[in-house]
A = this chain, B = another copy of it.
Amino acid sequence: MKLRLLGIVTAASIAWLISTPRQTLAAIKTSVVDYKQGDTVLEGYLAYDDANSAPRPGVLIMHEWDGAGPYVQSRARQLAELGYVAFACDIYGKGVRPTTPQECGTDAGIYRNDRALTRARVEAGLDQLKTNKLVDPKRIAAIGYCFGGMCALELARSGADIAGVVVFHGSLDTPTPADAKNIKCPVLALQGGDDPHVNQDAVKAWEKEMKDADVNWQLVQYGGAVHGYTNPKNGSDTSRGVAYNAEADKRSWAAMKDFFGEIF
């Protein structure tokens, strides 16, 4: 009886260990990281699970037009819980965190109009992520939200040696569509089907860009979702063309996880 009981208890413990979701056991470490592109100081945010020291895939996260703040930091923690080393990089520079739409538009405009600078800033983030000893440098993906989608795509168009790109309600346009021929990795765009800011003409142009360059591309459109659909702070009023959509948020996150399962 005692023998059997011990067996059951041990088995139950093992079963519990196996069935308990990873995140409840995880110890997510986060830190603010200063790094540089040229002479510009940038301030990123690192998140990873330090429960073990095994090399793992890295995910570079690019922020929306309001800069590197709480939103991408929360995504970094979520990605760390999934087992990745996540780094929310900074395109604008330390302390540059616009708040009004006008300020955001001004800052984003600098990078929209200077893609070489954009690429340099993104590459600095990628290099910073690669310095982390937990990261397997052969398994790094880049993801971006809105403005950050543009940045992630520019990284791919620069010919960066990365494993994949995912953009969420991303700005898809580029002044140099021919650069798509440099893209070496699969690309997944997760767009709002009713996004008036990245509209169907922009989607069409992007599809053409991808097709002309024979990129491994996928496009998902979520009906009812508008721009910024993954960010809860955008609220529920779709009339401005920017709003949170919990269902599309969940669906797009699942699509990203499937994609990572494939590329990593």
Contact = CB atoms under 8 A, between A and B. Distances in A.
A168 to B, nearest CB: 15
A193 B14 CA distance: 46
Contacts of A216: 223-224, 247
A254 B220 CA distance: 14
Interface in A1-44: 3, 6-15, 18-19
Nearest to A189: B221
Interface stretch (A83-91, A137-145, A146-154, A207-215): A207-215
Contacts of A262: 250-251
A245 to B, nearest CB: 11
Contact of A10 (B10, B217, B224): B10
Contact of A207 (B8, B19, B193, B214): B193
Interface residues of A, number: 39
A218 B191 CA distance: 10
A222 B216 CA distance: 8
A217 B192 CA distance: 11
Contacts of A258: 251, 254-255, 258
A194 interface: yes
A6 to B, nearest CB: 5
Contacts of A224: 214, 216-217
A258 B11 CA distance: 31
A178 interface: no
Nearest to A11: B14
Pick the 7 closest A-B CB pairs, nearest first.
Answer: A217-B223, A7-B10, A11-B14, A10-B11, A219-B221, A11-B11, A254-B258
Given A10-B10, A219-B221, 19 more contacts: A3-B6, A6-B6, A7-B7, A7-B9, A12-B14, A193-B207, A193-B211, A193-B218, A207-B221, A216-B224, A218-B220, A218-B221, A219-B220, A220-B220, A220-B221, A254-B258, A254-B261, A255-B258, A258-B258
10 contacts: A7-B9, A11-B11, A12-B14, A18-B19, A216-B223, A217-B223, A218-B223, A219-B220, A254-B258, A258-B258
